[in-house]
Amino acid sequence: MRYTTLGSTGLTVSRICLGCMTFGTPDWRPWVLSDADSRPFFQRAIEQGINFFDTADMYSLGVSEEVTGRALREFGNLDELVIATKVNFPMTDRPNMRGLSRKHIVQGCEASLKRLGIDTIDLYQIHRFDPNTPIEETLAALDHLVQSGKVRYIGASSGWAWQFARALSVSERHGWARFVSMQNHYNLLYREEEREMLPLCAAEGIGVMPWSPLARGLLAGSRSGVGDRSASTRAATDTYGHSLYDDAVSWAVVDAVREVAAARGIPMAQVSLAWLLSKPAVTAPIVGASKLTQLDDAIAAVNVDLTAEEIAQLEAPYRAQPVRGHD
């Protein structure tokens, strides 16, 4: 495994972050693995040097955090690991159980700490921006959590570059804890973040953690087209994923990945992740896995160094498309 620092912080993280949305309870989504079925993934990840794990309170409505916390306490040394979780999306349909108000952020953090079974969250992230709460209230609440020792670093997930820049400015003006990471939608099939968000992150020393790095399996070669729902249970039932990739996607990009992978004799997933890892702003793609071979491909991708010619071949077919993933 290779390691780097998260943006301009001194926090050392593996170049692959294991996304834990896949682990929790199938009662929430049919493609989610149970506690027992999830355990081998955490064991393999830690054995192979991954020290970075990302979940959220809304994944399996808290069960993902419980599963993640138990597994990391069993298989790892918590002092060596970096545990990230998120807050914003609804936990119930009742008032004050969603959003980024001071009340929900503080209560959400305390609930996540209990479910994870830890004293401090290494990276606490807003799970999208909240248009109904002043950013000053959100940032003050996050700073309170940092100052009280319940959170070490704070981050954000997807949004417009102007929103993120404004948040950084507000924190600086008030002397509050500042976002150190951006978890955004970025992969070979969706590169709109290169226009504003990635240059902003590079200039401000923000670590970038792309989600959906394999475009819901399209960049791993597991689907014959954007409309192919037969590859897996998730492909068939993930309605949010269906909204991210449609006919605006250039299938020529997938063909380019296939050609580079064939020439190297490695899986397409390794090529797609290696491309992300070649980008200076990217700290660690967030990789979800429902099969151990998928996790193994992600780990192997860390040691794949693409040539300039291969990168150009992969990028050439891309065409601009609407912004997706901010909602």
Cross-strand partners of 23: 33
**How far apart are alpha carbons 230 and 287 in whole angstroms?**
21
Residues 171-222: tens digit of each pLDDT: 999 999 999 999 999 999 999 999 999 999 999 999 999 999 999 899 998 7
- Rounded to a whole number of angstroms, the distance between the first and last alpha carbons of the chain is 33
* 3-class DSSP string for the chain: CCEEECCCCCCEEECCEEECCCECCCCCCCCCECHHHHHHHHHHHHHCCCCEEECCCCHHHHHHHHHHHHHHHHHCCHHHCEEEEEECCCCCCCCCCCCCCHHHHHHHHHHHHHHHCCCCEEEEEECCCCCCCCHHHHHHHHHHHHHCCCEEEEEEECCCHHHHHHHHHHHHHHCCCCEEEEECECECCECHHHCCHHHHHHHHCCEECCECCCHHHHHHCCCCCCCCCCCCHHHHHCHHHHHHCCCCCCHHHHHHHHHHHHHHCCCHHHHHHHHHHCCCCECCCEECCCCHHHHHHHHHHCCCCCCHHHHHHHHCCCCCCCCCCCC
Tens place of pLDDT for every residue, the chain, 327 residues? 999 999 999 999 999 999 999 999 999 999 999 999 999 999 999 999 999 999 999 999 999 999 999 999 999 999 999 999 999 999 999 999 999 999 999 999 999 999 999 999 999 999 999 999 999 999 999 999 999 999 999 999 999 999 999 999 999 999 999 999 999 999 999 999 999 999 999 999 999 999 999 998 999 987 766 666 556 676 566 666 667 787 767 889 999 999 999 999 999 999 999 999 999 999 999 999 999 999 999 999 999 999 999 999 999 999 998 898 887
Place of tokens 């670590």: 207
Determine which one of 59, 153, 186, 318 is catalytic.
Answer: 59
59 carries an active-site annotation? yes
Token pair for 327: 């909602």
Q: What is the pTM of this model?
A: 0.94
Token pair for 159: 């949004």
Q: Any idea what the Cα angle at residue 82 is, between residues 26 and 326, rounded to 5°? A: 60
**How far apart are alpha carbons 311 and 306 in whole angstroms?**
6
Q: Which of 4, 6, 322 is CA-nearest to residue 182? A: 6
Residue 248 Cα distances to 21, 107, 124, 192, 273, angstroms: 26, 40, 33, 13, 22
